């Protein structure tokens, strides 16, 4: 199985540039041998807080607007709007606004960017200004937020616990329903839209419909933001961004944690925090002074909505299907 896995990854690597169009910018995080073997790449999307070396400033809220711009908030201070290409700096921002959303996360749902301003949930315009306040959502922000790609809702950690926000209901003013009374940090949602993964020391899964617990994933150094892999040999595995600068991979089938990347300054420049899909099949990672982009050859992470599907990836999918009866891949 190991040789087959390496052959498939090698075939995918030959077409990676065409398939995912991943830029080649440098990043501070360093991939491990396991991360390289699994087909991951890391680039620096934007350095937004040069010199910031810890909590609690630097990038927090991240979302993609409906024209593809990327909104990045430093919490209290600048909110930058960038084009979706690597190597951005404050000087290359398309727009610069003011943010007072603190350490709360942003989310992309139904093609719109949502976040917090003045302790209220809001929808953003493409230039990072507030389109309107969702006055029907009364709880204040706590920490994590994530867009549910299945129904366009936003799942958020709030002053009322985990909540399920329908931003289009109530004439566009939004409504919310309590999921349960837990108060996690970083969160993400499963690709089928049924489960929220919430950081509470471990990563705990809860059914969105009932709030009932479904799973617990432990063994991380200092977990925060997450994202589920969709497709390929690692389908269903969980990416975990850690405060100490590590990026982990969790296999729900084997309960195995694999170290994918390490930072050069644990809890400093490489302090990992929230994550959000970049809508190109990769995952944005908030770090101490910047936003990195984590990609995986032959798969998407977190539910990006416009992953290209060239013939090379189609052929790879057929090959993977042919070998699925040989069992799940082993760890290197």
Please write the tens of the pLDDT for every residue from 274-309.
Answer: 999 998 899 999 999 999 999 999 999 998 544 334
**pLDDT score for 304:** 54
Count of other CB atoms within 10 angstroms of residue 15: 17
Mean pLDDT for 235-240 is: 97
Alpha helices by DSSP H, listed for 106-245, are: none
**pLDDT band at residue 25 under the 50/70/90 scheme:** very low
Please write the tens of the pLDDT for every residue from 62-84.
Answer: 999 999 999 999 988 999 999 99
Which one is the CATH code of 2-326: 2.120.10.30, 3.30.70.260, 1.20.272.10, 1.20.1260.10?
A: 2.120.10.30
User: pTM value?
Assistant: 0.84
Instruction: Give the HSE-up count for residue 242: Cα atoms under 13 Å, Cβ half-sphere.
Output: 26
Alpha-carbon gap, residue 45 to 23, rounded angstroms: 9
**pLDDT band at residue 243 under the 50/70/90 scheme:** very high
Phi and psi torsions of 24, nearest 5°:
-110, 25
Q: Sign of the CA dihedral 88, 141, 303, 203?
A: positive
**pLDDT band at residue 210 under the 50/70/90 scheme:** very high
Count of positions (residues) in the chain: 332
In percent, how much of the chain has pLDDT > 90? 77
206 φ/ψ sector (left φ>0, alpha ψ -120 to 50, else beta): beta
**pLDDT score for 268:** 86
Q: Which two tokens stand for residue 222?
A: 């200092």
Alpha-carbon gap, residue 108 to 124, rounded angstroms: 10
Angle at the Cα of 126 from the Cα atoms of 121 and 127, rounded to 5 degrees? 95
Q: Where are the domains of the chain?
A: 2-326
**pLDDT score for 328:** 38
Alpha-carbon gap, residue 139 to 136, rounded angstroms: 9
Alpha-carbon gap, residue 26 to 72, rounded angstroms: 19
Instruction: Report yes or no: 206 and 213 within 8 Å, Cβ to Cβ.
Output: yes
């Amino acid at each position: 199985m190991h040789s087959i896995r390496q052959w498939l990854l090698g075939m995918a690597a030959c077409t990676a540039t065409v398939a995912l169009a991943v830029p080649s910018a440098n990043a501070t995080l360093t991939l491990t041998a396991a991360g390289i073997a699994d087909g991951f790449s890391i680039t620096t999307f934007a350095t937004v807080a040069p010199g910031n070396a810890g909590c609690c400033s630097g990038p927090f809220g991240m979302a993609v607007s409906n024209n593809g711009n990327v909104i990045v908030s430093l919490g209290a201070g600048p909110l930058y709007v960038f084009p979706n290409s690597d190597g951005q700096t404050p000087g290359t921002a398309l727009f610069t606004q003011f943010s007072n959303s603190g350490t709360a996360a942003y989310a992309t749902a139904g093609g719109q960017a949502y976040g917090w301003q003045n302790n209220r949930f809001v929808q953003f315009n493409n230039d990072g200004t507030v389109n309107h306040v969702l006055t029907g959502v009364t709880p204040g922000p706590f920490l994590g937020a994530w867009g549910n790609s299945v129904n366009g809702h936003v799942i958020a950690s709030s002053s009322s616990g985990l909540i399920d926000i329908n931003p289009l209901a109530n004439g566009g003013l939004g409504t919310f329903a309590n999921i349960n009374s837990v108060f996690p940090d970083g969160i993400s949602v499963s690709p089928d839209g049924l489960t929220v993964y919430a950081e509470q020391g471990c990563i705990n899964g809860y059914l969105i419909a009932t709030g009932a617990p479904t799973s617990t994933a432990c063994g991380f150094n200092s977990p925060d933001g997450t994202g589920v892999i969709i497709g390929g040999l690692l389908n269903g595995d969980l990416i975990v961004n850690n405060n100490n600068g590590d990026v982990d991979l969790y296999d729900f089938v084997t309960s195995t944690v694999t170290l994918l990347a390490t930072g050069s300054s644990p809890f400093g420049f490489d302090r990992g925090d929230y994550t959000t899909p970049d809508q190109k099949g990769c995952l944005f990672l908030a770090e101490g002074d910047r936003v990195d982009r984590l990609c995986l050859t032959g798969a998407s992470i977190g539910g990006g909505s416009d992953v290209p599907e060239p013939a090379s990836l189609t052929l790879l999918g057929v090959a993977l299907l042919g070998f699925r009866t040989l069992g799940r891949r082993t760890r290197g």
